[in-house]
Amino acid sequence: MNNFLNINEITLTELESILEDAHRLKKSLEPGFKGLRRDNRLEGCNLGLYFQKPSTRTRLSFETGTMQLGGKVINIRPDEIHLNEGESIEDTAKILSLFLDAIVIRLFKEEHLYEFANSANIPVINGLTNDSHPCQVLTDIFTFQELRGNISEKTVVWFGVANNVLNSFLHASTHFNFKIIFCGPEKFKPQKKVLDLRPRGKERFFEIESDPIKAVKQADLIVTDKWVSMHDKPLNEKDLEELMRFQINKTLVDKGKKEVLFMHCLPASKGLEVTDEMFKDKRSVVFEEAENRMHLQKAILCWCLKKIS
């Protein structure tokens, strides 16, 4: 049994086996109803989904993906169970392990994810915390490689505010050998504790560039996210004004490489971190990225349950 908690804890060989399986799973889908089953690898599997924050893509892609592989999904609403309110995380993790075969959890606190995983006897998948979003980033790598080939030696430029998705990109960069450039206001750069996690000798995989034009010229992949994450306070006017310099718009992206791609994990606040025009531009692959969540979730779940093909 494997947990899927953070990308930096999983070997490159294992991550590549997940990506390869996701390709196979995607190719094996034929046109027709989305519930049509071509592969029964998860027959008999009961997957639990526990989300403390809203989710459209993560929840639906795990639900549909699991059912496509013959498994069943049980949604566990935070207001219906006792986790951390009347029962310890440790006890709830042990109890849920009695009834489920695997669980996806979306929590506020990263330490609660580890507390849960350390007590559970079933695979635990990180469906996002305030500090990480590994399922999203592995999907983004998959999507880039599907469209542009190997991400090794490429440059990912993150615009705006450092957040959980960027943290997972940083985790992935040293494994997959790509550079990340952060382009945003000083006060919103990645935290030292995240940068310190990188293995020694791998510092070259991260740079800061405060000039959006210099940054965009280097990008093979441009990424941004909402400036305010689900757990954050609203921005003040001064910060908002400063962040507008780092908005992804067509004028900026036109200064970049011809083959550059734009990704956003969604949901987006159009008119803020990205313009509507750029969102719909042919270089934007946000919907391919969203669809690929499902193929990746299936492969991640199969890897966790040692059902990878």
The least distance separating ligand CP from the CB of residue 263, rounded to whole angstroms, comes to: 10
Note whether 265 binds ligand CP by CB under 6 A.
yes
**Residue number with CB closer to ligand CP (128 or 222):** 128
Q: Which is nearer to ligand CP, 97 or 139 (CB)?
A: 139
* DSSP helix/strand/coil, 165: helix
Binding to ligand CP by CB under 6 A, coded x per residue (else -) over 150-169, reads --------------------
**What is the 3 state secondary structure string of 222-282?**
EEECCCCCCCCCCCCHHHHHHHHHHCECHHHHCCCCCCCEEEECCCCCECCCECHHHHCCC
Selected binder of ligand CP within 3, 6, 58, 224 (CB under 6 A):
58
State yes or no: residue 305 binds ligand CP (CB under 6 A). Answer: no
Nearer to ligand CP (CB atom), residue 55 or residue 145 = 55
Among 73, 266, 268, 281, indicate the residue that binds ligand CP (CB under 6 A). 266
Closer to ligand CP at the Cβ: 128 or 301?
128
Interface with ligand CP: number of residues (CB under 6 A) = 8
Distance (Å, whole) CA 156 – CA 1 = 32
Comparison of 205 and 262: residue with beta carbon closer to ligand CP: 262
Give, in order, the Cα–Cα distances in Å from 109 to each of 52, 80, 117, 269, 299.
10, 19, 13, 24, 25
Interaction residues for ligand CP, span 112-131 (CB under 6 A):
128
Q: How far apart are CB 61 and ligand CP at their closest, in Å?
A: 8
Cβ pair 132, 142 in contact under 8 A: no
Q: Please give the sequence-ordered ranges of beta strands (E in DSSP) within the chain, or none if there are none.
A: 46-51, 72-76, 102-106, 124-126, 155-159, 179-183, 206-208, 221-224, 261-264
Please report how close the Cβ of residue 114 comes to ligand CP at its closest, in angstroms.
20
132 φ/ψ angles, rounded to the nearest 5 degrees: -160, 155
Using CB under 6 A as the binding rule, the residues of this chain from 226 to 245 that contact ligand CP are: none
137 is an interface residue for ligand CP by CB under 6 A: no
Lookup: tokens for 6: 């953070």
Give Rg (Cα) of the chain.
Answer: 19
Q: Residue 204 class from Cβ within 10 Å (0-12 exposed, 13-18 middle, 19+ buried)?
A: exposed
- Where in the sequence numbering do the catalytic residues fall? 106, 133, 136, 225, 265, 293
Does 171 interact with ligand CP (rule: CB under 6 A)? no
Residue closer to ligand CP by CB (options 172, 218) is: 172
User: Is 136 among the residues that bind ligand CP (CB under 6 A)?
Assistant: yes
* Segment near ligand CP (CB under 6 A); pick from 22-30, 53-61, 76-84, 214-222: 53-61
Q: How far is the CB of 78 from ligand CP (least distance, A)?
A: 15
Q: Which of 27, 37, 38, 56 binds ligand CP (CB under 6 A)?
A: 56
How many angstroms separate the CA atoms of 46 and 123, rounded?
12
CA 288 → CA 122, 142, 295, distances in Å?
31, 10, 11
Asked whether the beta carbons of 151 and 176 are under 8 A apart, the reply is yes
Q: For binding to ligand CP (CB under 6 A), which residues are involved?
A: 55-58, 128, 136, 265-266
